Structure 1
Amino acid sequence: MSDAATQDRLRVNFIGIGGRKCATSWVFKCLTEHPDICGAHSKETHFFSTDNLYDQGLAAYAAHFTICGNEKIRGEFSTSYLTSTQAAKRIYEDFPQVKLIVCLRDPVARAVSALQHMLSKGKIRKTDALQDILKRYPELLEEGMYGKYLAAYLKLFPRNQLHITRYEDIQKNPQQVIRELYRYLGVDATFTPQGLYYKYNTSGARNAIWFKHSLALYHALMRNAFGRMLVKALKRLGLNAYTLDTVLRRGTTNAYAVSDQDRQRITRFYENDQRLLQKLLA
Structure 2
Amino acid sequence: MTARPNFFIVGAPKCGTTAWAEYLRTHPQIGFARQKEPHYFNTDFPDFRWARSQADYLSFFEGCEGKTAIGEASVMYLYSSEAAANIARFDPGAKILIFLRDPVRFLPSYHNQLLLNLDEDIRDFGQAWALSGERAKALPSTCRDAKFLDYPAAARFAQQIQRYRAHFPDAQIKILRMEEWKPNPRAAYLDVLEFLGLPDDGRVDFPVIHKAKHHSSGAVAKLIQRPPGWALRVAAAVRRVLGLKRLGLSKLLRRMNTGTGYAKRDEENAELQDEIRAALAEDQALLQQIFKERSHG
Task: Please give the TM-score of this superposition, normalised by the length of structure 2.
Answer: 0.69
Tell me if structure 2 keeps the 8 A contact 1:30–1:193. Answer: no
CA distance 1:75–1:120, shift in 2 (3 Å): closer
Q: Does 1:177 align with 2:188?
A: yes
Q: Does 1:20 align with 2:13?
A: yes
* Unmatched 5+ stretches in structure 2: 136-147, 216-258, 293-297
Tell me, what secondary structure is at the counterpart of 2:158?
helix
Q: Does 1:206 align with 2:217?
A: no
Aligned to 1:72: 68
Letter in 1 for 2:122: I
1:97-112, aligned counterparts within 5 Å? Answer: 97-112=93-108
Letter in 2 for 1:206: A
Report the identity percentage.
26
Segment of structure 1 superposing worse, 123-132 or 13-22: 123-132
> Cα RMSD between the aligned structures?
3.0
Q: Does 1:261 align with 2:257?
A: no
Aligned to 1:129: 127
Tell me if structure 2 keeps the 8 A contact 1:16–1:77. Answer: yes
Cα distance in 1 between the residues matched to 2:262 and 2:123? 14
- The structure whose residues are more often helix, as a share, is 1
Tell me if structure 2 keeps the 8 A contact 1:119–1:255. Answer: no
Cα distance in 1 between the residues matched to 2:108 and 2:41? 28
Task: Please give the TM-score of this superposition, normalised by the length of structure 1.
Answer: 0.72
Show CA shifts across 1:163-199 (max 9, x none).
11211123211111111111111111242064x1327
Per-residue deviation at 1:129?
2.7
1:1-282, aligned counterparts within 5 Å? Answer: 5=1, 9-50=2-43, 56-118=52-114, 123-126=121-124, 129-134=127-132, 135-136=134-135, 138-192=149-203, 194=205, 196-198=206-208, 206-207=212-213, 251=261, 254-257=264-267, 259-282=269-292
Higher relative contact order (CA closer than 8 Å, sequence separation 6+): 1
Segment of structure 1 superposing worse, 182-191 or 72-81: 182-191
Cα distance in 1 between the residues matched to 2:208 and 2:269? 30
* Unmatched 5+ stretches in structure 1: 210-248
CA distance 1:67–1:133, shift in 2 (3 Å): farther
Cα distance in 1 between the residues matched to 2:115 and 2:40? 28
Tell me if structure 2 keeps the 8 A contact 1:126–1:257. Answer: no
Show CA shifts across 1:110-166 (max 9, x none).
012223444566722349735545343643232211111111110111001001121
Cα distance in 1 between the residues matched to 2:286 and 2:126? 32
Aligned to 2:256: none
* Higher Cα Rg, which structure: 2
Per-residue deviation at 1:50?
2.9
Show CA shifts across 1:16-48 (max 9, x none).
111011010001000101111111012211111
Letter in 2 for 1:124: I
Tell me if structure 1 keeps the 8 A contact 2:115–2:214. Answer: no
Tell me if structure 1 keeps the 8 A contact 2:214–2:260. Answer: no
